[in-house]
Amino acid sequence: MDRIAGYGTADSRAEARGAVTPRAALLVLGVLLLHLAFIASYLGALHDPEPDGVPLAVVAPDDMRDRLVSRLDALPGGPLDPDHRAKDAEDARRQVERRDVDGALIVDPGGTADILYVATGGGSSLAQALTDVVREAEAAEQRSVTVEDVAPAGERDSRGLSAFYLIVGWCVGGYLCAAALAVSAGARPATAGRAVRRLVLLGVYAVLAGLAGAVLAGPVLDALPGRVLALAGLGALVVFATGALTLALQGLMGIIGIGVALLIVVVLGNPSAGGPYPYPLLPPFWQAIGPALIPGAGTWIARSIAYFDGRAVLGPLLVLTAWAVAGAVCTVLFARMRGGPRSSLDELSFQ
């Protein structure tokens, strides 16, 4: 019986060792690190939002303006960047509508009642933070301020977050599509031809996902106003860019590439996207990386389409295009490096 028990114990140990291989242990460790990075990134970016250098145009007579700008610029913590000029109130309003600045203060030279232009369509939390800072500064000088929202968020767009959630959904779709291809046919395509076919399939998926998301956000749920086709085009680009990035990283690293894509898009990209708290409310690190990542560029464009007549989108569009092109090119390049010169497009498999 002891021999049988001993055999069972040894067999169990061998089975346990086989179940948890060194490679599996390393993957679990990688998951833990990614998990902790997720917590650190979201808490680091969002736990204590404070305005930092919010662009503000100030309209006032020159002598009065210089004193006011100096006073606003010297506020503790540097919440405002008030050294933005506007010819008059109409010019200041246009600057807010073009997203050149986040607000504009119109000073009444003959009285004490001023006007502050904000745009909740660019993020209600930012508009509220700017209002609070300016009102406190004005009250210290025995002045009052009336707030005018020149680009208001939609009635059914709670706190201007619908654009952010829509972009997150599109990013998840692109990521899952690429991951599904890896699960079904291997993380690394065997040839460049197969890599191209994966990209074609991803492109078809991106167009359908972009259109469906835009229809859901607009006509179906009335969560986000704006041109449906423009939103659909944005969605297709976001989905394809995210999926192409994931495919490229899979081609380079295998299944680990899926985790790296998650790190770039979700762990770093979502909290820095300017969704719940636009860029001027984020800490410096997240302010710096947000505009260069897919969720941040996508959220900015979606809000511009919905509330700013599509203004100020060239830079973010270039960011998304760069991710999409780089992801597609690297996907094919890595497949070619692994599979040699063979690159026939006549293969019928999407592997």
pLDDT tens across 14-58, in order? 555 556 688 788 888 888 999 999 999 999 999 999 999 999 999
What local confidence, expressed as pLDDT, does residue 158 receive? 79
What local confidence, expressed as pLDDT, does residue 294 receive? 98
Q: Check if the beta carbon of residue 153 is closer than 8 Å to that of residue 163.
A: no
- Rounded CA-CA distance 123/120 in Å is 5
Closest among 115, 157, 103 to 307, alpha carbons compared: 157
pTM assigned to the model:
0.89
Tell me the chain's radius of gyration from C-alpha atoms.
26
What local confidence, expressed as pLDDT, does residue 277 receive? 97
Closest among 241, 77, 225 to 162, alpha carbons compared: 225
Q: Check if the beta carbon of residue 95 is closer than 8 Å to that of residue 56.
A: no
Measured CA distances, 78 to 68, 72, 165 (Å):
14, 8, 30
Question: Per-block average pLDDT, block size 10, for the chain (351 residues)?
Answer: 51 59 83 93 95 97 92 96 96 97 96 97 97 96 96 91 97 95 69 89 97 97 93 98 96 90 97 97 97 98 97 98 98 82 37 42
Residue 304 CB partners (closer than 8 Å, separation 6+): 99, 310, 311, 312, 313
- Rounded CA-CA distance 294/316 in Å is 9
- Supply angle C-alpha 245, 333, 346, rounded to 5: 105
What local confidence, expressed as pLDDT, does residue 341 receive? 44
